[in-house]
Amino acid sequence: MKVRAQVIKEEGEYPSLIDYQMNVSDQNIVAEVICSALNHRDLWIVKGQYGRIKYPVILGSDGLVKYEGKKYIINPGLEWGDHQAYQGPEFDILGMPSEGCFAEKVQINEGYLYQKPEHLSDEQAAALPLAGLTAYRALFSRAQLKNNEQVFISGIGGGVALFAMQFAIAYGCEVYVSSSSQDKIDRAIALGAAGGFLYTDDDMDKQILKSVGPMDVIIDSAGGPGFSKLVNITSKGARISIYGGTQGKASFSPQRLFWNQASILGSTMGSPDDFEKMIQFVNAHKIKPVIDSVFHLQELNQALEKMKVGGQFGKIVIKNKA
Ligand SMILES: NC(=O)c1ccc[n+]([C@@H]2O[C@H](COP(=O)([O-])OP(=O)(O)OC[C@H]3O[C@@H](n4cnc5c(N)ncnc54)[C@H](OP(=O)(O)O)[C@@H]3O)[C@@H](O)[C@H]2O)c1
């Protein structure tokens, strides 16, 4: 089947919109993609900074699709496996190696389709799957968040970070954020955050301890040299969930970690059970994803450039249908 798609043909290339020959597996259905959304993963793959890249590749792990007249979002965590605690050896993510949603149509096993939450627009629904799932697991399945806890979320401009903030606020927690931008902090406060700090300040940890005290749960995707400040702001029994390593290797004070009986928990996307619970939570609390901007499928490279610069606040969405 020929499909119009944004395809990266070889290493070092950006995607280009072409007619692509898709070989449809017997296990899959073919659905029309209405909207899709970017994740940082797409940018890592474009930059060649991701494991096991196979070319040609159609990126796009998030999609809102139409199938037999109904709208569905796709769980992009494929073949999670048998354990809630961790993914199995067959685990993969929609949009490399399998063909993703930056195309007119996508092939997917019907079991990964979930009814679109009714309170969301098409753009909002497409923004939800990967980032919502990652935020849900990091907060609830891994950090075992309790309501009334004090929560810190770093890099609030990020797609996952904003979901984590919205979920924790909806759950009744007091949420503080960090960013490189005061404007993003102000926007987070307008959405219900209790306050925010610039991670570019060398003494951010001291500012936090002095003004609002230590944090019970910390959600981070940066790692890097700034990670030590996150360990410094842990409360007794704190949990740090880390799902990304944008800033590379981290070092920190082990003394602070063990004295506080704190834990560092790695988290990656989530199981089908996490996905189902995430959708239930979004429906129950009528959470609406924060959309930074919307591009058309033919403007995918502009959308990727926007993410590269890092100026976004929330999800960058693609309208696949003109
Ligand atoms: N393991 C998983 O399952 C999983 C799932 C999703 C994402 N990830 C990873 O998590 C990271 C974020 O993904 P995303 O899709 O949410 O990306 P994104 O929307 O592009 O957001 C990236 C954010 O990182 C923040 N940031 C940059 N430098 C920072 C620093 N030194 N300290 C704190 N925050 C910093 C920025 O926040 P400000 O703009 O506020 O400064 C930026 O908005 C990526 O590395 C991605 O690969 C992993």
pLDDT for res 267: 98
* Count of structural domains within the chain: 2
What DSSP state is assigned to residue 319? E
223 lines ligand 1 (CB under 6 A): no
Helix or strand holding residue 197 (H, E): strand 195-198
Angle at 285 between CA 93 and CA 316, to 5 degrees: 45
* 74 in the same domain as 48: yes
pLDDT the model gives residue 322: 73
Digit-coded pLDDT (tens) for 121-156: 999 999 999 999 999 999 999 999 999 999 999 999
Chain centre to alpha carbon of residue 140: 15
Residues 34 and 114 in one domain: yes
Q: Are both 190 and 243 inside the same structural domain?
A: yes
d(CA 76, CA 129): 7
Q: State whether 161 and 249 are in the same domain.
A: yes
121 and 11 share a domain? yes
Give mean pLDDT, residues 222-227.
97
Least confident segment among 23-37, 40-54, 137-151: 40-54
Average pLDDT over residues 37-56: 94
Q: Would you say residue 277 lies in a domain?
A: no
Q: What percent of the chain lies above the pLDDT cut of 70?
A: 100
158 lines ligand 1 (CB under 6 A): yes
Backbone angles phi, psi at 248, to 5 degrees: 85, -155
Rounded to the nearest angstrom, the distance between the alpha carbon of 241 and the centre of ligand 1 is 13
Distance 159 CA to ligand 1 centre (A): 7
158, 229: one domain:
yes
Domain of 56, CATH number, reads 3.90.180.10
Read off the pLDDT of residues 233-276 as tens digits, 9 standing for 90 and up: 999 999 999 999 999 999 999 999 999 999 999 999 999 999 99
Q: How far away, in angstroms, is 15 Cα from ligand 1 center?
A: 22
**Residue 11 shares a structural domain with residue 103:** yes
**What does pTM read for this prediction?**
0.98
What distances in angstroms separate CA 276 from CA 76, 195, 204, 272, one per listed residue? 12, 31, 36, 6
Give the Cα-Cα-Cα angle 302, 2, 39 (nearest 5 degrees).
Answer: 30
Residue 220: how many CB atoms within 10 A of its CB? 27
Same-domain status, 56 and 92: yes
pLDDT class for 289, splitting at 50, 70, 90? very high
pLDDT on residue 281 = 98
- Separation between Cα atoms, residue 303 and residue 319, nearest integer Å: 11
Answer whether residue 64 is part of any domain: yes
Q: How far is the CA of 125 from the CAs of 101, 130, 200, 287, in angstroms?
A: 14, 11, 33, 11
Mean pLDDT of the chain: 97
The answer as to whether 271 is a domain residue is: no
Residue 230 has pLDDT above 90, yes or no: yes
Asked if omega into 97 is within 30° of 0 (cis), the reply is yes
- Are 240 and 188 within one domain? yes
pLDDT of 80 higher than 90: yes
For residues 41-46, average pLDDT: 96
Q: Please indicate, yes or no, whether residues 80 and 156 belong to a single structural domain of this protein.
A: no
With respect to residue 29, please indicate whether it lies within any of the assigned structural domains: yes
Q: What's residue 17's pLDDT?
A: 97
Average of per-residue pLDDT across 12-32: 96
Question: Whose alpha carbon is nearest atom 22 of ligand 1?
Answer: 158
Tens digits of residue pLDDT in 189-201 = 999 999 999 999 9
Domain of 239, CATH number, reads: 3.40.50.720
Q: Which two tokens stand for residue 84?
A: 């809630």
**pLDDT number for residue 227:** 98
In a domain, 101, yes or no: yes
List of long-range contacts for 228-235, beta carbons under 8 Å, 24+ apart: 228/252, 228/253, 229/199, 229/204, 229/205, 230/152, 230/154, 230/205, 231/256, 231/257, 231/262, 231/264, 232/205, 232/256, 233/152, 233/205, 233/208, 233/209, 234/260, 234/262, 235/150, 235/260, 235/262
Do 151 and 177 fall within a single domain? yes
Q: What is the mean pLDDT of residues 157-168?
A: 97
| In a domain? residue 276 | no
Residue 141 lies in a domain: yes
* Strands 77-78 and 92-93, sheet pairing: antiparallel
Grade residue 78 by pLDDT with cuts at 50, 70 and 90.
Answer: very high
Q: Which atom of ligand 1 is nearest to the CA of 316?
A: 19
pLDDT at 99 over 80: yes
Please check whether residues 69 and 162 belong to one and the same domain.
no
Assess whether the C-beta atom of 40 lies below 6 angstroms from ligand 1.
yes
Could you identify the atom of ligand 1 that is nearest to the CA of residue 156?
40
Compute the distance from residue 155 Cα to the ligand 1 centre, in Å.
Answer: 6
Q: Domain of 238?
A: 133-266
49 contacts: CB under 8 Å, gap ≥ 6: none
Whether residue 282 lies inside any domain: the answer is: no
